[in-house]
Amino acid sequence: MDAKVIWKERMSFSGSAESGFTIPLGTSPDLGGDNDGFRPMELLAIGLAGCTAMDVISILQKKKQVLTAFEVLEYVVRGHAVEQAAVERAVQLSADKYCPAQAMFSKAALIELKITIQAGD
């Protein structure tokens, strides 16, 4: 993966990758920044959440689970007749097999996999 960060001014940066998208990076004024972008640690958390979210949604769609909402870092799944076992298996497959970010972070920190299933829209 090709990614780079370009310094703009003070503590303001622009990050980009092969996809062609850019994202602002910054920090708070007390650290010399202008509060004008994501903090790098926020992006790590978002990257981890996005990695596992894409895995879990893909797996649950293949299992024909009808979802109406989904969010992570706590896995909150909303849908119609969603099967607990299907969600648990999807989350575990993401953690153990498909999400390299989760595998990497789990070596450095304990990651608790909490699942909540809600009925309805």
Does pLDDT of 121 surpass 80?
A: no
Does pLDDT of 56 surpass 90?
A: yes
Predicted confidence at residue 105, as pLDDT, reads 87
Encoded tokens for 1: 């993966």
- Could you give the CA distance from residue 68 to residue 47 in angstroms, rounded to a whole number? 22
Predicted confidence at residue 103, as pLDDT, reads 85
- Could you give the CA distance from residue 59 to residue 54 in angstroms, rounded to a whole number? 9
pLDDT digit string, tens, across residues 95-117: 999 998 888 888 898 888 999 99
Encoded tokens for 35: 């509060």
Q: What is the pTM for the complete model shown? A: 0.84
pLDDT digit string, tens, across residues 65-105: 999 999 998 999 999 999 999 999 999 999 999 998 888 88
**What's the chain's average pLDDT?**
94
